[in-house]
Structure 1
Amino acid sequence: MKHCLYLIFFLALAGCGGGSGNGSGTGGLNGRPANAECVAFSPSADVRLTPVAGDLSFSAPLLMLQHPSLDNIFYVVQQGGIVYRLDTGANTRSELVDLSEVYPLANCEECGLLGMAFDPDFASNGFVYLSFTEQRGGITSYVARFESLDNGRSLRQSAAGGLLRTNLLEQSQPFANHNGGHIAFGPDGLLYIGLGDGGSADDPGNRAQSLSTRLGKILRIRPDGTPADNGVSGSVPEIYAYGLRNPWRWSFDRATGDLWAGDVGETRFEEINRITLGGNYGWRCYEGFERTSNSCSTTGPFTDPVAAYGRGDGVSVTGGYVYRGSTMPALRGSYLFSDFGTGTLWALDPQGDGSYQRRTLLETGYNVASFAEDRDGELYLVTFQGLFRIDPVLEETELPQRLSDTGCVQSNDPTQPADGLIPYTVIEPFWSDGADKTRYFGLPDRTTIEVDASGDFRFPRGTVLVKNFTLDQRLIETRFYLHNVDGSWSGYSYQWNDTGSDATLVTGGRDVDVGGQIWHYPSAGECALCHTSAAGNSLGLEVAQLNRNFTYPQTGRTANQLNTFAAIGLLENTPTSAQRQTTLTRSTDTEASLDARARSYLHTNCSHCHRPGASTQSAMDWRITTSLSQTGTCETEPRNGNLGQTGAVLLRPGDAENSLLYLRMVAEREVRMPPISVHVVDRRGAELIEDWINQLDSCN
């Protein structure tokens, strides 16, 4: 019996299999093919996500926490400054406060409203604590105490009409990134505060190791702002633990009181640490378990992380909680955490020898900003795509081990797509270590695709995207990207055997020698690095890429792909004339302008991550619709290092050798861009960007 996979490939596969197709039959296909076989299901997983307040939208939510005494009341903290009071029972919300209306909140990528906590005695004193950054000349981090007189419906105002505010901690920030900002009360009734190392790359001020600054630390103070009895020898009194780069979300185990923290890495490893009083967690001397190349006068002793993972699994850890709820007994005692870039949800399971084993629970496809825990110990995910409760699975379904069993290929010839798939092509393909690609998508019957305002295709749940990769005319990989029934996206790869008769499912990432070239099969988490929700998840399936002719093998007819999709009834709404005017240019088209070719290349290879709302910490925006002066690159200092080239900036017109945009393309593999296909440098593409930069005389 064939399995149903959700693959998501969007364009038109001509009337394969005699589908009934609605539409006029104009364009490249005779009608829409029927597709009951190649549709996505929820793959085997230990948990599932249940939407919370799914009818409400939030902008960059960073935190959710439950009211200290009310069952259905949660608070959602948005980076821009708003705190919502959410009633999950009634699915309604009200605004507790908007700090941006009363304070000059800093609006850099890692600034804004970053943390919130309730006083352990909130029922009697009404104290609420907020952590945020303000722009007053420079960037300053504050932890301040406010007061609510109505059980958390509003914050008390001062006699002058502003918020009644008591600053407990004030810390200037030398750079715009690594602000940390999470706050929480521990079981000891004291307030813990996490601050990053102050920013830039490699902690240039060695602040995380210095005991004379609060940066790069976990701090502990009393509720009135006075230092607790931390007793870390030679340190400023607030320091509880140090040697941290950017602690992003940490929590206390409600059963043991242990403090668990995720610490965001530089270029190699993300860490999970168990924080103890006086502990030194290594940064900038160590990243993960390995010594860095940074000079480091501190000799330790250093505390190793509980676990670390590399760039193949994610780019920015999001710390979570030790699960102590009752609905998922198999996870009780395990530490759950995620990654903002990939959305992978992991568990660290305790082993008999005191170590922990990491395992994947779910590929969510979301940008996970934080976790939340309710009073019963059940856990929630706070993502840029919505709020979710983590629940046990209803049933398990395993992915087929063989490609021929997926229902997405011809069972007697897996090299050919199933009848229900629709082939498509793009104007400017993504660089994939020199491989050629063919593309298909499977759309569930009686569903349609929405074209959003940006021109991206929004696929219905159950969609399957399929891509075949060939090197030297040899089929080496078939890659699926599935829009699962719970709304998440997940990617999977099948590796072809030497005879080309079938392919088998790849578990995790894998490097294989293919004819003398190392080919990388990405893990499911790596797929999410590029397939960002900000870019519509499906990447090449957008008006700017698809507005071109294609010869359909089913009919032999050549027609515009967008016209064909509309004719056979695939589109919920047709692209506007304005959207059609934004069309990419093939970067190899020497008849086109150098600017059009370069910007199309950057849109395809960079903009899925470098755009507003995407997973990168950079503020660059390489969408084709963004003017060069607004890309955030011209003469801009890098946040994450200059590859050892003093004076290099993101983009310097007329000087590619000092432009990191070009230098990253030809750099060592660990720091090369794009981040996935990095075994082979795209020499032609690099030369294109080099020539384009060198002929620029300005960014205007």
Structure 2
Amino acid sequence: MKYTSIIISLFFALLQLNAQFFTSPFPDTAPVVGYSLETAFPGLTFSYPNSVVTMRVRTNAFGDPLLYVQGRYGQLTFVNLNNPTNKVVALDNVANTFYVADSGFLCMAFHPTKPYLFTFGTETNKLAGNMSDKLIRWQIDTNTDKIIASSKTVLIDQVDTSQEHTGGALAFGPDGYLYVSLGDEGGQNGVLRNTQIITNKFFSAVMRIDVDELPTNLLPNPSSATIAHYRIPNDNPYIGITSFNGYPVDPFTVRTEFWAVGFRNPHRMSFDTNGDLWLGDVGNVRWEEVNKVIKGGNYGWNGYEGNEITTFKEAISNHNILNYVGPVWTYPHSAIAIGYDPRFIGNCIIGGFVYHGNKYPYLKGKYLCADYISKNIWAISLTPQFKVERIAVSEASPSEIYLNPVTGDILIGCLSPGTISKLVPANVTIGVPNTLADTGLFDNVSTLEFKSGILPYDVANTFWSDNAIKSRWFFLPANTSITRTSENYIFPPGSVFIKNFKYNLIQNDPNSQFNLETRFIVVTTNGAYGLTYRWDSDQLNATLVPDQGLDITINVDRSGIIDPTPWHFPARSECSTCHNSTPNFVLGFSDRQLNTTITNELGQIVNQLIDLSALGVFSNPVYSTNGIPSLSKADDTSYSLEHRFKSYTDANCAYCHQPNGPGRGDWDARFSVPINMSSIINGSVIDDLGITNAKVVVAGNTNLSIMFHRIADFYSLHQPEEYHMPPLGTHEVNHSGVKLLHDYIISIAPRTNWLIGIINNSHDEFPQENRINDLSPGSWFGLDDDFYTSGTYPSGFNNLASSIHIEQDEPSSNWERALTNGDRTNRLHFVVSETKNATLKIGFRKGGWMINGVVQSSTMPPTGNLHDIVLIHKTLTNSTIIWQGGINANTTLTIPLIVDSGPNTIEFIRTGPIVTGNSYWVMFDYVSLNTN
């Protein structure tokens, strides 16, 4: 009988093999909304490291039109538009390019008459330990059409302490001058104080310079960032001025390069044929804007955002902004878009150009632009009546709109996955089923009985959806499978993921459940799109929600009181806010979410990952879950508070808040990232909501923890609705999530009296700690030390040298230490007063050497190994331990600390002959302190 049962189970399991396959009823591309997108160059991709940032056309010496495609990671390629079948690498600048957040190889422009290419972007600054904004001129080899790397000539080299708001647009005007757009350096609300200032650095402006250096033009005023090879057009608006915004200025310190000011992050700009300069300026937290840039115009940031006067504490008074020019068009961020048509919302404007071609008669004379987050593409009618229309929705996030001069196609470049598409008329795609019954996916719609081939699945930790009860299914195209990776799976085009939402019409009464909506995520070749269906009142079928979404009110009985509860059906463009390219579009279908126990369709209690593997779902199946992480539910006390907290942030935050994600801020919500490496605890915030000393999370203090306020404080003074997180699809407080956040934050032990300094007689070590000159060199207590008060402690940041410091934008050179002759020791001095024993970890690169100001490879030993660190001397109270460093380039020293052990000193000691001509340095990667 035992063996008969096993055989029957195997028989039914074999019947289920390949049961996940089903033919999709949905279009292969996103639903049409006027125009749709097709691949512009079949067979050609511009994937990593050449994701599409900018496109420009140059006609070569043979008359061939070449489309150059710039990737943010530092590579430039081109295709011949007469025969676009292959691409050629024109320049590889990857090794020099700094590409985090908004930074990278950002924009380019070809000189209109000379064989020069100009680029603007960010490069690694070895000395500052961060990055520099660089305007560079390159010479073109007219025989090969490649860029001569050795011809690199830097015009502007400016240290940039932030990785955000770099701006990045170049364009030659009809006057022959080069126009350059520049962001405000970064930080929320203009906190770095670079706006409405014309006597400091090259930020928050559009510049106009003469790269031909005509003798009738002027030399630039001296600047630490100016290398020159350009002049100032003699009619630039700020030449010779003695006041700005009503305040006196020295005309000899004015940045006479400026043409217009008051921009936050002007990301794309272009000239119309009539000479008008159009620009898209990325907004703060409320409004995106399109501007027409004029000479001497002041576009208001940070006293204005869009047409709205700003009220945050960093804002300059709008009364102090003269020559203010308002935007041509603004549209709201999704977080404040209550009552707005979702077809006209977004979070990151991508400026385009005014179309004058013949291929798209309806678009002639209209300004084209897009949004990187909502993926909406718009056409703005300028005359005779102003009008904005959404003409298409991209599947991937658009980063550039450009014109193919050979075919007349409007091209849409996408940063990820590095595709170039073209705009085509709407009638080339198939429509979407109008009802659930029309999809053909169900044996019985009203009972949600799916046809064979569509499989249910569950998740370990569910995304918060206002107490809705959710069920999930999926199917794949025939003869395909999903490839598992440690973070985000790779899904075959045609995969479909289904989620149904029910709601209790009587609070906590499962017998009162009512179907609200059923959503679909359809994976395509270039991305994914979403659809949602609203259930009819008779619960027999559901109807496709309009493209712009829908808002309704549900009357919920809460303890005998009828409570009108809002419910939002998302617009199709809103789906991409969460289902974006960073998590590969599909959420909740990953190792850590699927690694949970379920009862399968055979009634067996099984591990879901192993069960799906047995059904042939994965190309790399799971046979054992040993070593595979699993998320936990907020109230599952069998897991630690930290495990549950990390599970919560992974499910509810990580789709935006991770490297290269659309979320603002530098913290990483992924479960796989250790808490001390995530920049969550004591991590810097973009917007402090007016709370002094606020961080993402402050140990032991919910009042200073912005994450807590954004999730817990609905409609409070701290928390206007537009600042609430998650930003979409929720109107109710997640009480279990709030309790988890509270309990976790309170549980983190505050660190007190953490002090880091240097004991040495050298005057050049750590010279500008906290950006303040060391007034007492040679004395650790007189140094401008890192001092962490109660409730905070130092946290790592992406393993960068600057992560030793709570200020994440601090140049890493502040933490490099010269080991020159006669100055051989480098002591890291600290005082720790703990309520319990702790462990200190110091990570350092003993091969991270600097020679004559140039940082060498971290795996490259110093010359002849003569100047390597030979030992690390650790001194605790009443004890001395000698630790041999070994030969590894990257080393971590772990030091146990005893309660109230008093001062502790670490010495890094080198040996070797007298150093002449070179300085050798050691760099600290991180310092972390963890209680045992």
Match of 2:576 in 1: 528
Contact 2:532 2:570 in 1 (8 A): yes
> In the TM superposition, what is the alpha-carbon distance from 1:411 to its structure 2 partner?
6.4
Match of 1:209 in 2: 196
Q: Aligned in 2, Cα 1:678/1:291: closer, same or farther, shift over 3 Å?
A: farther
Q: What CA deviation, in whole Å up to 9, does each residue of 1:360-417 have, x standing for no partner?
A: 41241x2322233333453322222022131314624333333332333456637544
Match for residue 373 of structure 1 among 386, 400, 403:
403
Match of 1:403 in 2: 436
> In the TM superposition, what is the alpha-carbon distance from 1:523 to its structure 2 partner?
1.6
| 1:15-34 equivalences in 2 (<5 Å) | 25-26=12-13, 29=16, 32=19
Match of 1:512 in 2: 552
Contact 1:403 1:414 in 2 (8 A): no
Aligned-residue RMSD, C-alpha? 2.9
Tell me how far apart the structure 1 counterparts of residues 173 and 623 of structure 2 sit (CA, whole Å): 54
Match of 1:97 in 2: 91
Which amino acid in the other structure matches residue 514 of structure 1? Answer: I
| 1:680 is aligned to 2:750 | no
| 1:47 is aligned to 2:47 | no
Tell me how far apart the structure 1 counterparts of residues 444 and 659 of structure 2 sit (CA, whole Å): 42
Contact 1:370 1:382 in 2 (8 A): yes
Match of 1:545 in 2: 593
Q: What CA deviation, in whole Å up to 9, does each residue of 1:602-647 have, x standing for no partner?
A: 1111111122332234332222211122213343322x22111111
Q: Aligned in 2, Cα 1:261/1:56: closer, same or farther, shift over 3 Å?
A: closer
SS of corresponding position for 1:426: coil
Contact 1:664 1:671 in 2 (8 A): yes
Tell me how far apart the structure 2 counterparts of residues 536 and 174 of structure 1 sit (CA, whole Å): 30
Q: What CA deviation, in whole Å up to 9, does each residue of 1:122-165 have, x standing for no partner?
A: 3xxx21112123424264322122222335644446xxxxx334
Q: Aligned in 2, Cα 1:107/1:629: closer, same or farther, shift over 3 Å?
A: farther
Contact 1:77 1:115 in 2 (8 A): yes
Tell me how far apart the structure 2 counterparts of residues 192 and 210 of structure 1 sit (CA, whole Å): 19
Q: Aligned in 2, Cα 1:33/1:237: closer, same or farther, shift over 3 Å?
A: closer
> In the TM superposition, what is the alpha-carbon distance from 1:257 to its structure 2 partner?
3.2
Q: Which has the larger radius of gyration?
A: 2
Which amino acid in the other structure matches residue 58 of structure 1? Answer: Y
| 1:358 is aligned to 2:389 | yes
Contact 2:72 2:106 in 1 (8 A): yes
| 1:567-578 equivalences in 2 (<5 Å) | 567-575=614-622, 577=624
Tell me how far apart the structure 2 counterparts of residues 457 and 199 of structure 1 sit (CA, whole Å): 32
Match for residue 441 of structure 1 among 469, 474, 478:
474
| 1:491 is aligned to 2:530 | yes
Tell me how far apart the structure 1 counterparts of residues 655 and 292 of structure 2 sit (CA, whole Å): 34
More RCO (CA 8 Å, sep 6+):
1
Tell me how far apart the structure 1 counterparts of residues 158 and 599 of structure 2 sit (CA, whole Å): 62
Q: What CA deviation, in whole Å up to 9, does each residue of 1:192-216 have, x standing for no partner?
A: 1000122211113554333445421
| 1:199 is aligned to 2:186 | yes
| 1:605 is aligned to 2:652 | yes
SS of corresponding position for 1:26: helix
| 1:115 is aligned to 2:161 | no
SS of corresponding position for 2:733: coil
Match for residue 250 of structure 1 among 263, 269, 272:
269
| 1:184 is aligned to 2:224 | no
> In the TM superposition, what is the alpha-carbon distance from 1:539 to its structure 2 partner?
1.0
Tell me how far apart the structure 1 counterparts of residues 698 and 445 of structure 2 sit (CA, whole Å): 55
Which amino acid in the other structure matches residue 498 of structure 1? Answer: S
Contact 1:24 1:567 in 2 (8 A): no
Match of 1:74 in 2: 67
> In the TM superposition, what is the alpha-carbon distance from 1:119 to its structure 2 partner?
0.5
| 1:130 is aligned to 2:161 | no
Tell me how far apart the structure 1 counterparts of residues 26 and 534 of structure 2 sit (CA, whole Å): 20
Q: Aligned in 2, Cα 1:482/1:414: closer, same or farther, shift over 3 Å?
A: farther
Match for residue 168 of structure 1 among 149, 155, 163:
155
Contact 1:325 1:378 in 2 (8 A): no
Contact 2:19 2:454 in 1 (8 A): no
Match of 1:647 in 2: 693
Tell me how far apart the structure 2 counterparts of residues 281 and 618 of structure 1 sit (CA, whole Å): 25
Q: Aligned in 2, Cα 1:152/1:549: closer, same or farther, shift over 3 Å?
A: same
Tell me how far apart the structure 2 counterparts of residues 71 and 674 of structure 1 sit (CA, whole Å): 50
Match of 2:748 in 1: 696
Match of 2:489 in 1: 457
SS of corresponding position for 2:189: coil
Contact 2:100 2:660 in 1 (8 A): no
Which amino acid in the other structure matches residue 615 of structure 2? Answer: I
Tell me how far apart the structure 2 counterparts of residues 174 and 397 of structure 1 sit (CA, whole Å): 49
> In the TM superposition, what is the alpha-carbon distance from 1:467 to its structure 2 partner?
0.9
Tell me how far apart the structure 2 counterparts of residues 522 and 694 of structure 1 sit (CA, whole Å): 35
Contact 2:306 2:327 in 1 (8 A): yes
> In the TM superposition, what is the alpha-carbon distance from 1:191 to its structure 2 partner?
0.6
Moved more, 130-139 or 193-202: 130-139
Aligned length: 661
Q: TM-score, normalised by structure 2?
A: 0.66
Which amino acid in the other structure matches residue 422 of structure 1? Answer: L
| 1:141 is aligned to 2:133 | yes
Which amino acid in the other structure matches residue 48 of structure 2? Answer: F
Which amino acid in the other structure matches residue 36 of structure 1? Answer: T
> In the TM superposition, what is the alpha-carbon distance from 1:540 to its structure 2 partner?
0.7
Tell me how far apart the structure 2 counterparts of residues 683 and 78 of structure 1 sit (CA, whole Å): 44
Unmatched tracts of structure 1, length 5 or more = 1-22, 158-162
Contact 1:544 1:580 in 2 (8 A): no
Match for residue 271 of structure 1 among 286, 289, 311:
289
Which amino acid in the other structure matches residue 585 of structure 2? Answer: N
Contact 1:285 1:295 in 2 (8 A): yes
| 1:226 is aligned to 2:274 | no
Which amino acid in the other structure matches residue 259 of structure 1? Answer: L
Moved more, 426-435 or 570-579: 570-579
Match of 2:890 in 1: none
Contact 2:20 2:474 in 1 (8 A): no
Tell me how far apart the structure 2 counterparts of residues 610 and 573 of structure 1 sit (CA, whole Å): 28
Which amino acid in the other structure matches residue 311 of structure 1? Answer: H
Match of 1:17 in 2: none
> In the TM superposition, what is the alpha-carbon distance from 1:431 to its structure 2 partner?
0.9
Q: What CA deviation, in whole Å up to 9, does each residue of 1:499-540 have, x standing for no partner?
A: 333333223133322222211222222211111222121111
Tell me how far apart the structure 1 counterparts of residues 58 and 44 of structure 2 sit (CA, whole Å): 20
Which amino acid in the other structure matches residue 59 of structure 2? Answer: P
Tell me how far apart the structure 2 counterparts of residues 265 and 610 of structure 1 sit (CA, whole Å): 18
Moved more, 367-376 or 148-157: 148-157
Tell me how far apart the structure 2 counterparts of residues 347 and 151 of structure 1 sit (CA, whole Å): 40
Contact 1:209 1:298 in 2 (8 A): no
Tell me how far apart the structure 1 counterparts of residues 452 and 642 of structure 2 sit (CA, whole Å): 40
SS of corresponding position for 2:53: strand
Match for residue 585 of structure 1 among 628, 632, 639:
632
Tell me how far apart the structure 1 counterparts of residues 626 and 420 of structure 2 sit (CA, whole Å): 33
Match of 2:332 in 1: 310
Q: Aligned in 2, Cα 1:277/1:454: closer, same or farther, shift over 3 Å?
A: same
Q: Aligned in 2, Cα 1:453/1:174: closer, same or farther, shift over 3 Å?
A: closer
Contact 2:182 2:203 in 1 (8 A): yes
